[in-house]
């Protein structure tokens, strides 16, 4: 049997904003029993990585775990890796933030375990060539990258059984053929056979010292994944695997990365292409950035984080809330949760808004209560409605999409994004049910089509336009602020030329206008929609105006859609009321956000979130029909398909008769 070194690396992580019961279950079924087994095998060495949120939880709720890990470290059985504290994709955030993330976890590892980590774990094991320059700036000596990335560079897996040197950084390959066997091989001996087979193939190619096989994967597969607690612990698989390592010490030598790094000279290596483990390459289409193209909600959040970070003076460290917002889980989706988990999205937005609030107060000392942003090119829609004091973004919604695993699952698909101020002209056959399923007749071309930002005549305004020549937009003439357009998504927002965060923007007003068409019977008739938004410190005023541009009267069914999200769906935690129900019955009047509903002659809507001690009231001056539709998505979780309430669609609708050249108006208020 060929001699071989073997490094056993386990990455343990829970995202920022994870639910408390998930921490409890993961500790009980994975983190605790894993240590129990490891302690019984003192000759088995292990490399452990714990992300910041998990370390924080241990320190608060299970400090005894820290003591036990410290004992393993002190006797040389365990090495601790650092990484980004809140587990960001390091190549996807500004370099200053990436360094702050790494240094924060390096300090925490030293303070918690008395250990100075030399290596780091890369979130989702995503390697980017830019990291070769970044990581040494944080005194990182080595990291791990999957063998599939080496294969993209033309190397076979058996050619990667040692560490490799690129300028100022060493890289350890993670061997996929072994990773897939642990802990799922039929017997622990078969997992050892996989290690031996890889070592034998390496020996046939090399006359160098015995190679290094690296297993590295998620700690949650040891107890949290379906059926793994029974398989790993109740049947004794892990215990027997560690015993097999000890009894085969004549040919397999457990080691830590630090030990191997100290004793072996790395081989030189040409630059590696970007990449990750094979499953991630499939989910991402070969580039992690593709998640931003597939999921506009992910892209928007990422851009807001990036812009806020870039607005910081060069000599200021990023706020911790900004670093928390960069936790990677909320930006992507493979087969499990991620972006589809509403509580993670809401947490990310609360952290972003906390960072905005901190940075805004540094500059101005006071802030508006509401932060709103718009995307003229997609229906003139509102893309953010953040309550700055609580940090809650009522528009942290998710559009329903078709996912590869849906198969025969009857999951509705949206043909327009789930936002607010979406303008509908409904066909006569539209029903509450067909509207909820996004399978209704739309007679207008307004919902997802471009609007122009035009000069506001009511107040003095400054015009501006984007570099690509798109129409100008307006905000009040208040220096040093100007209206800017996000070049990646052309979202209109308020920002300052001196880098002041957008959340500190004072009162502003803008008008979004579209000259479009509506099908009436067989005629395609011109129609103009203007909506003026005036953002004040304590409320947001919205003025709609429809203009019939024809020489004939038209009958219309017009609606304005708001997609709004709260933390929960059921009373008494969360719910909604209409008109004056809240004043009359308070909590007893709360309606469920998980049920379809229809009301007539509505003039107000109130959303109540007791978890956040937050209420939002939307009122309008012309009685309307009000439809409520829960927006549910089907996403894959470890237990199978999971239905998640993402937001509630509220449609205010009116049946109108407009004479030739006449206008119809309605005024709304958000407070």
Q: What is the pLDDT of residues 264-299, one digit of tens each?
A: 999 998 899 999 999 999 999 999 999 999 999 999
Token pair in block for residue 339 = 């972006």
Residues of the chain above pLDDT 70, percent: 90
Mean pLDDT of 105-125: 97
Whole-number pLDDT of residue 208 = 67
Shared domain for 299 and 261, answered yes or no, is no
pLDDT of residue 396 exceeding 50, the answer is: yes
Token pair in block for residue 253 = 């030598």
Q: Note the helical H segments in 44-146.
A: 52-61, 63-74, 95-113, 131-134
Could you tell me the CATH number of the domain that includes residue 417?
2.70.98.10
Shared domain for 574 and 431, answered yes or no, is yes
pLDDT band at 171 (very low <50, low <70, confident <90, very high): very high
Q: What angle do CA 243, 246, 251 make, to 5 degrees?
A: 130
Whole-number pLDDT of residue 583 = 65
pLDDT of residue 502 exceeding 60, the answer is: no
Token pair in block for residue 181 = 């066997």
DSSP 275: B
Q: Are 399 and 507 in contact (CB under 8 A)?
A: no
Q: What angle do CA 186, 189, 192 make, to 5 degrees?
A: 110
Whole-number pLDDT of residue 586 = 59
Quick check: bond before 572 cis, omega within 30? yes
Q: Are 360 and 370 in contact (CB under 8 A)?
A: no
Shared domain for 348 and 454, answered yes or no, is yes
Which of 69-78, 159-168, 478-487, 504-513 shows the lowest per-residue confidence on average (mean pLDDT)? 478-487
State which H helix or E strand residue 427 sits in: none
pLDDT of residue 498 exceeding 60, the answer is: no
Which of 79-93, 132-146, 441-455, 614-628 shows the lowest per-residue confidence on average (mean pLDDT)? 441-455
CA distance 175 to 178: 6
Query: Which residue, 247, 281, 315, sits at the end of a domain?
Result: 281
Shared domain for 420 and 550, answered yes or no, is yes
Q: Is residue 671 part of a domain?
A: no
Q: Note the helical H segments in 164-205.
A: 176-179, 188-205
Residue (of 352, 341, 220) closest to 636 by Cα position: 341
Mean pLDDT of 518-547: 94
Whole-number pLDDT of residue 365 = 58
Q: Are 429 and 442 in contact (CB under 8 A)?
A: no
Shared domain for 513 and 646, answered yes or no, is yes
What pLDDT, in 10s, does the model give residues 217-249?
A: 999 999 999 999 999 999 999 999 999 999 999
pLDDT of residue 608 exceeding 80, the answer is: yes
CA distance 34 to 219: 8
Shared domain for 390 and 263, answered yes or no, is no
Contacts of 215 (CB under 8 A, 6+ apart): 6, 7, 8, 9, 174, 175, 178, 179, 182
Q: Note the helical H segments in 339-474.
A: 342-363, 432-436
Cβ count within 10 A of residue 408:
5
pLDDT of residue 10 exceeding 90, the answer is: yes
DSSP 271: P
Beta strands 663-670; 540-548: pairing state: antiparallel
What residues make up the domain containing 245?
4-281
pLDDT of residue 20 exceeding 90, the answer is: yes
What pLDDT, in 10s, does the model give residues 535-585?
A: 888 899 999 999 999 999 999 999 999 999 999 999 999 999 999 876 655
Whole-number pLDDT of residue 489 = 32
Which of 56-60, 471-475, 532-536, 649-653 shows the lowest per-residue confidence on average (mean pLDDT)? 471-475
The 8 Å CB, 24+ separation contacts for 577-581 are: 577/605, 577/606, 577/608, 578/602, 578/604, 578/605, 578/606, 578/626, 579/603, 579/604, 580/604, 581/606
Query: Which residue, 262, 281, 300, sits at the end of a domain?
Result: 281
> Dihedral sign, CA of 419, 422, 425, 428?
positive
pLDDT band at 495 (very low <50, low <70, confident <90, very high): very low
pLDDT band at 587 (very low <50, low <70, confident <90, very high): low
Token pair in block for residue 176 = 């996929």
CA distance 69 to 71: 5
pLDDT of residue 415 exceeding 50, the answer is: yes
Cβ count within 10 A of residue 627:
22
Shared domain for 227 and 313, answered yes or no, is no
Q: Are 336 and 225 in contact (CB under 8 A)?
A: no
Q: State residue 212 phi and psi, 5-degree precision.
A: -125, 125
Mean pLDDT of 449-463: 60
Contacts of 28 (CB under 8 A, 6+ apart): none
**pTM over 0.95, yes/no:** no
Shared domain for 223 and 356, answered yes or no, is no
Mean pLDDT of 35-51: 98
Could you tell me the CATH number of the domain that includes residue 185?
3.20.110.20
Shared domain for 538 and 634, answered yes or no, is yes
Q: Are 417 and 381 in contact (CB under 8 A)?
A: yes
Whole-number pLDDT of residue 73 = 98
Shared domain for 393 and 540, answered yes or no, is yes
Average pLDDT, the chain: 90
Whole-number pLDDT of residue 589 = 80
Residue in the block written with tokens 């307006």:
474
Q: Is residue 654 part of a domain?
A: yes
pLDDT band at 598 (very low <50, low <70, confident <90, very high): very high
CA distance 236 to 229: 10
State the total domains in the chain. Answer: 2
Quick check: bond before 347 cis, omega within 30? no
CA distances from 160 to 148, 219, 435 (A): 10, 24, 55
- First-residue to last-residue Cα distance in the chain: 73
Shared domain for 175 and 310, answered yes or no, is no
Shared domain for 470 and 358, answered yes or no, is yes
Whole-number pLDDT of residue 207 = 62
Contacts of 398 (CB under 8 A, 6+ apart): 297, 339, 340, 342, 345, 418, 631, 633, 646, 647
Whole-number pLDDT of residue 468 = 40
Residue in the block written with tokens 């999205």:
345
Whole-number pLDDT of residue 349 = 98
CA distance 49 to 41: 19
Q: Is residue 623 part of a domain?
A: yes
pLDDT of residue 131 exceeding 70, the answer is: yes
Q: Is residue 496 part of a domain?
A: yes
Task: For 575-618, give the DSSP string.
Answer: EEEETTHHHHHGGGGPBPTTS-EEEEEEEEEEEEETTTTEEEEE
> Dihedral sign, CA of 340, 341, 342, 344?
negative
Query: Which residue, 281, 305, 325, sits at the end of a domain?
Result: 281
CA distance 51 to 330: 16
CA distance 629 to 433: 8
CA distances from 567 to 225, 347, 612 (A): 26, 10, 8
Whole-number pLDDT of residue 366 = 62
Q: Are 464 and 443 in contact (CB under 8 A)?
A: no
């Amino acid at each position: 049997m060929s001699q071989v070194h073997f490094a056993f690396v386990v990455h343990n992580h829970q995202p920022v904003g994870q639910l408390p019961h998930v921490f409890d279950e993961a500790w009980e079924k994975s983190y605790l029993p894993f240590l129990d087994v490891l302690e019984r095998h003192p000759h088995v060495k292990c490399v452990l990585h714990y992300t910041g949120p998990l370390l924080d939880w241990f320190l608060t709720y299970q400090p005894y775990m820290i003591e036990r890990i410290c004992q393993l470290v002190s006797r040389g059985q365990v090495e601790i890796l650092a990484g980004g504290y809140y587990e960001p994709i390091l190549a996807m955030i500004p370099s200053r933030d990436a360094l702050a993330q790494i240094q924060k976890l390096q300090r925490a590892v030293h303070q918690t375990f008395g250990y100075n980590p030399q290596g780091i774990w890369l979130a989702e094991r995503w390697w980017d060539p830019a990291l070769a320059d970044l990581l040494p700036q944080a005194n990182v000596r080595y990291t791990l990258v999957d063998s599939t990335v080496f294969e993209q560079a033309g190397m076979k897996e058996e050619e990667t059984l040692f560490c490799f040197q690129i300028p100022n950084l060493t890289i350890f390959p993670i061997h996929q053929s072994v990773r897939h066997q642990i802990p799922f091989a039929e017997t622990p001996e078969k997992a050892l056979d996989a290690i031996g087979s890889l070592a034998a193939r390496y020996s046939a190619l090399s006359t160098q010292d015995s190679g290094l096989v690296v297993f590295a994967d998620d700690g949650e597969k040891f107890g949290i994944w379906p059926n793994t607690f029974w398989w790993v612990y109740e049947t004794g698989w892990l215990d027997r695997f560690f015993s097999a390592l000890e009894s085969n010490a004549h040919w397999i030598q457990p080691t830590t990365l630090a030990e191997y790094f100290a004793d072996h000279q790395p081989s030189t290596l040409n630059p590696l292409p970007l990449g990750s483990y094979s499953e991630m390459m499939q989910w991402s289409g070969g580039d992690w950035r593709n998640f931003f193209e597939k999921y506009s909600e992910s892209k928007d959040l990422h851009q807001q984080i990036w812009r806020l970070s870039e607005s910081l003076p060069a000599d200021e460290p990023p706020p911790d809330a900004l670093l928390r917002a960069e936790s990677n889980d909320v930006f992507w989706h493979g087969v499990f949760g991620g972006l589809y988990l509403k509580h993670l999205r809401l947490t990310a937005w609360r952290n972003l808004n906390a960072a905005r609030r901190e940075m805004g107060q540094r500059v101005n000392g006071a802030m508006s209560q509401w932060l709103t942003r718009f995307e003229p090119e997609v229906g003139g829609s509102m893309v953010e409605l953040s309550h700055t004091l609580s940090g809650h973004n009522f528009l942290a919604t998710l559009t329903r999409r078709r996912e590869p695993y849906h198969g025969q699952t009857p999951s509705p698909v949206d043909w327009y994004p789930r936002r607010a101020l979406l303008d509908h002209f409904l066909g006569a056959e539209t029903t509450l049910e067909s509207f909820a399923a996004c399978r209704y007749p739309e007679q207008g071309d307004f919902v997802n089509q471009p609007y122009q930002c035009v000069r506001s005549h009511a107040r003095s305004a400054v015009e501006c336009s984007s570099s690509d020549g798109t129409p100008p937009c307006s905000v009040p003439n208040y220096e040093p602020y100007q209206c800017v357009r996000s070049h990646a998504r052309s979202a209109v927002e308020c920002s300052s030329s001196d880098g002041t965060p957008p959340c500190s923007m004072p009162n502003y007003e803008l008008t979004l206008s579209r000259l479009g068409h509506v099908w009436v019977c067989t005629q395609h008739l011109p129609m103009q929609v203007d909506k003026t938004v005036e953002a004040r410190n304590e409320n947001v005023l919205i003025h709609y105006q429809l203009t019939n541009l024809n020489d004939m009267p038209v009958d219309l069914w017009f609606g304005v859609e708001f997609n709004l999200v709260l933390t929960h769906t059921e009373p008494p935690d969360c719910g909604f009321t209409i008109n004056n129900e809240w004043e009359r019955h308070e909590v007893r009047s709360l309606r469920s956000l998980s049920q379809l509903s229809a009301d007539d002659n509505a003039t107000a809507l109130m959303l109540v979130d007791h978890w956040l001690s937050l209420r939002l009231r939307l009122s309008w001056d012309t009685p309307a029909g009000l439809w409520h539709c829960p927006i549910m998505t089907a996403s894959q979780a470890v237990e199978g398909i999971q239905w998640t309430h993402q937001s509630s669609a509220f449609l205010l609708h009116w049946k109108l008769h407009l004479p030739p050249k006449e206008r119809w108006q309605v005024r709304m208020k958000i407070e």
